[in-house]
Amino acid sequence: MAMFADDVSFTAKAPQSVVVGQQFRLVYTVNQDAKDLRVPEMPDFDVLMGPSTSSQRSVQVINGNMTATHTINYTFILMANQAGTFTIAPASITVKNEKYTSNAINIKVLPADQNASQSNANTRSTESSVGSSQVSTSSKQIFVRQILSKTNVYQQEAVLLTYKIYARDVNVAQIVNAKFPEFKDFYVHDIELDNNRSWEPEHYNGLNYNTIVLKQYLLFPQRAGELTIDAGNVEAIVRVPTYQRSNNFFDDFFNTFQEVKKNLRISPTKINVKALPAGAPANFNGAVGQYQLQSSLSATQVETNDAVTLKVKISGKGNLKLVKVPEIKFPHDFDAYDPKTDNNIKVGTGGVTGSKTTEYVAIPRFGGTFEIPATQFVYFDPSDARYKTLSTDAYTITVSGNTVADSQVSGGTMVSGVNKEKIKNLGNDIRFIHNNGDAQLTWQSTAFYGTSAYYLAYVLPLSLFVLLCILLRKQAKENANLVRVKNKRANKLARKRLKSAAACMKAGDKARFYEAAVQALWGYTADKLNIPLSNLTKDNVQEELLRHGASQTLVEDFLTILSDCEFARYSPVVDESMSMENCYNKAAELIGQLENAIK
């Protein structure tokens, strides 16, 4: 039994970008027998040929069921006659007396090369003069650009940085090595690129190139002033056509190619960063972008000792990962727990978008009517160049149960965890001692008072109490010194991050392994040296490590392994010396050496 697809598909397909004077194909495809194709007027293009019709039939048998498909293609050959962006309206076709329309197509037409014939002649002349043994490429044939979406921004405002390779009259066979800058004074997000991205034509400086994106980052400048994004370097293997004089007839039809290793330098770029305007509200915590604020309470009427949950959601676009969640002030009679934050953040070419949802849990211990005041979230909107304030709702909670007054014992002392229902009338439980004249009392000659055990029973608990007070006071003093606490925990946290890197290495996740290794190294130095992670640079880390007693050799090893991990993270080809296993072992050993060296 043969089955035919009932769904009719009628689509149009053409290149996204073409060049003036370049021929291209416009193909309409329908998956059923059809008739009466009607295409729209195309005044912006010359129709050189079409439609030419081709069809294809196929039969597939699966588990005894036969499926037949029929595809018909209508092909037009077009040529653009002017530059610009144009739309080809939908076409229509009739299938089984029903009319169907295709999708519309947007085509970007690039201008023709300026002085193209002269440029090609010069290029061919240069290549021919070199001969068959040597082939060179000029800087106009292949180069890499460092492109900023903006060059004039505010602090913490996102900037898209794109590294794009441009090629003309050459084919890029392989990227051997790529070294991008370190982005000092920027908080950086790496943008994940589509592995199936393809080369696209682009008109630049009067010439048309084939281009492809190598790398993209979102940069958040951390300080004001004119900042410089340093130069970089890309090594590529390019395949260059060679032109030779020959008496062989077939040389006119078949070009020969030679592979050349090309070192492409990326020029530095400057960006002007403006400081945030003066007069920021007191509760401004550095949020920059466009945001919305929402809040919700799980219940407004509860019993004592029943938990209530308050959720605060910050959503929008900006430096979301650096945004601090607002602080909620619960009533004093509530036991509040540490908040839990759930991040749903996406990093793309349009910026960092998503939301941060913080969940606060509190338990009322006494009955009554309580109010959770509104809290404010202040951010700077660079599009309006002003500070904006958002506020959550204020909530009133009615708690059923014992009030504070009911929970007070005589004398005004409150006993935690004791309700008045638990206090029983003990009068009937008291029994007097009955006198019995026949009872004989005997004197115990062994006395405890005045013995060594008697005094020891006083001295020993008192000594233990004093010792416990000293220890607790010492511990409280150490915990109050946050610098010392972070210093002592630095090695433990670094080992924990390295365990995460080891898990990525075992799973074969190269990108996440090197990211975890770099975070372990930077995190260790930030905790050990008491420097905020956002302020860490290789220069100040080197200076601080030396000041804290690390040797010059140890500091150089630290910078080397850090650079190797960062390089290996983005490099498509990694040497054995920078393999995941070697980087892991070096990082673990280096952290141990720094732990012993830093004072």
| DSSP label of 94 | E
Q: Round to whole Å and give the CA distance between 158 and 155.
A: 9
**465 is a domain residue:** no
**463 is a domain residue:** no
Provide the residue range defining the domain that includes 574. 482-597
| Greatest extent of the chain over all pairs of C-alpha atoms, in Å | 146
The reply to whether 120 and 223 lie within a common domain is yes
**589 is a domain residue:** yes
How many domains does one find in the chain? 4
The reply to whether 85 and 30 lie within a common domain is yes
Higher pLDDT, 525 or 109: 109
Question: Which residues, other chains included, contact 493 with Cβ-Cβ below 8 Å and sequence gap of 6+?
Answer: 523, 524, 527
Q: Which of 110, 134, 152 is the last residue of a domain?
A: 110
Q: What is the pLDDT of residues 534-558, one digit of tens each?
A: 667 777 777 777 877 778 888 888 8
pLDDT value at residue 589: 83
Preceding amide of 339 cis, omega within 30: no
Q: Which of 80-84, 401-405, 483-487, 579-583 is least confident?
A: 483-487
Q: Round to whole Å and give the CA distance between 105 and 12.
A: 7
Q: Which helix (H) or strand (E) holds 214?
A: strand 207-221
The reply to whether 381 and 510 lie within a common domain is no
The reply to whether 192 and 334 lie within a common domain is no
CA distances 74 to 36, 59, 93, 435, 538, Å, are 12, 22, 11, 121, 61
pLDDT value at residue 315: 93
Q: In which region does residue 59 sit, left (phi positive, over 0), alpha (psi from -120 to 50) or beta (all else)?
A: beta
The pLDDT confidence band at residue 204, using thresholds 50, 70 and 90, is confident
CA pseudo-torsion sign 549, 183, 165, 107:
positive
**270 is a domain residue:** yes
How, if at all, do strands 207-221 and 159-167 pair?
A: antiparallel
How, if at all, do strands 308-318 and 351-364 pair?
A: antiparallel
**435 is a domain residue:** no
Contact 11, 37 (CB under 8 A): no
CATH (domain of 321): 2.60.40.740
Question: Which residues, other chains included, contact 229 with Cβ-Cβ below 8 Å and sequence gap of 6+?
Answer: 146, 148, 161, 181, 183, 186, 219, 268, 269, 270, 271
| DSSP label of 150 | -
CA distances 561 to 78, 543, 580, Å, are 55, 17, 12
Phi, psi torsion values for 169, nearest 5 degrees: 65, 15
Mean pLDDT, residues 493-515 taken together: 81
CATH (domain of 530): 1.20.120
Higher pLDDT, 398 or 585: 398
The reply to whether 120 and 268 lie within a common domain is yes
Best-predicted range by mean pLDDT among 156-170, 453-467, 487-501? Answer: 156-170
Mean pLDDT, residues 506-524 taken together: 81
| C-alpha 223, offset from chain centre | 21
**253 is a domain residue:** yes
The reply to whether 241 and 310 lie within a common domain is no
Q: In which region does residue 226 sit, left (phi positive, over 0), alpha (psi from -120 to 50) or beta (all else)?
A: beta
Q: Which of 26-35, 378-387, 500-509 is least confident?
A: 500-509
